[in-house]
Amino acid sequence: MIIIGIDPHKSAHTAVAVDAAGHKVGQRRFVVNSGTFGRLLHWCAQWPGRRFAVEGASGLGRSLAQQLAAAGEDVVDVPSTLSARARLLATGGDRKTDPADALHVAQVALFRTDLRKVSAEDQSTILRLLTERHDDLTGERTRIVNRLHAVPAASSCGSGMRCPRDSATRSASVRASASREASQRYSVADRARAPGARTSRACSSSSSPMPSWTASMLSASVDR
């Protein structure tokens, strides 16, 4: 049996075919577009007895793995941790290239019998994926709209102050501020008009003479 290891990426997929001994018998790179799947099957038609090993069939390679499974191909999922371990054992380092990764994926699938077999997803799974994607797009749109609303508010109110959002809130804020200032002014004026406050200020000031009405009040109290 021929094992075809695939290293999937967003822009291109690299496929390497190995025989039963693990020797490479073919290699090709496929640019990702609408005709990628057809070209891959046409290239693999030279090996009737074949099995596909896709790295990350539940992640980045999910679309390709599902296309292969829906076409009736034998597909297994190779976790990236296993392919990385095989690369480390083969090269003695962590340097990686797409052809080398695809080769190690195929070799892992050749010698491991406990890999997960990829099956075609039904309509419920597809609807769930579409719903999750819709929720992600809705959340992203809400985040962008909130940011766009925050930019004019920050530019009009300044970066160091908080600006009320509507005219009613701004009016209430202005009225509250004016009321606080008026109460402070009235409190100061009441203290200034109090006779005790005037007497204490007059007595504590040695440079200014005592007013006549204050002296008369003090003398009258002493007589009583």
pLDDT for 64-101, tens place per residue?
998 999 899 999 999 888 877 877 776 655 567 888 88
Pairing of strands 116-117, 75-78: antiparallel
Q: In this structure, is residue 218 part of a structural domain?
A: no
* Overall domain count for the chain: 2
Average pLDDT over residues 32-61: 91
Pairing of strands 2-7, 50-55: parallel
With a cut of 50, say whether residue 201 has pLDDT above it.
no
Q: In this structure, is residue 190 part of a structural domain?
A: no
Q: In this structure, is residue 92 part of a structural domain?
A: yes
Q: Let me know the angle formed at the C-alpha of 216 by 213 and 222, rounded to the nearest 5 degrees.
A: 145
Burial 182-214 (b: 16+ CB within 10 A, else e): eeeeeeeeeeeeeeeeeeeeeeeeeeeeeeeee
Q: What pLDDT is recorded for position 105?
A: 92
Q: In this structure, is residue 206 part of a structural domain?
A: no
- Are residue 84 and residue 17 in the same domain, yes or no? yes
Choose one of 133, 159, 185: the last residue of a domain.
159
* Domain span holding position 102: 2-119
- Are residue 6 and residue 83 in the same domain, yes or no? yes
Question: Would you say the C-alpha torsion 38, 68, 58, 144 has a positive or negative sign?
Answer: positive
Q: In this structure, is residue 167 part of a structural domain?
A: no
Read off the CATH number of the domain in which 82 is found: 3.30.420.10
Q: In this structure, is residue 28 part of a structural domain?
A: yes
Question: Would you say the C-alpha torsion 117, 123, 128, 131 has a positive or negative sign?
Answer: positive
- Are residue 41 and residue 13 in the same domain, yes or no? yes
Q: In this structure, is residue 193 part of a structural domain?
A: no
pTM for this one? 0.55
How crowded is residue 26: how many other Cβ atoms within 10 Å of its Cβ?
15
The gap from C-alpha 179 to its chain's centroid, in whole angstroms, comes to 45
Q: In this structure, is residue 153 part of a structural domain?
A: yes
Neighbouring-strand partners of residue 52: 4, 75
- Are residue 89 and residue 11 in the same domain, yes or no? yes
Tell the residue number behind the tokens 């490479």, with chain if given.
24
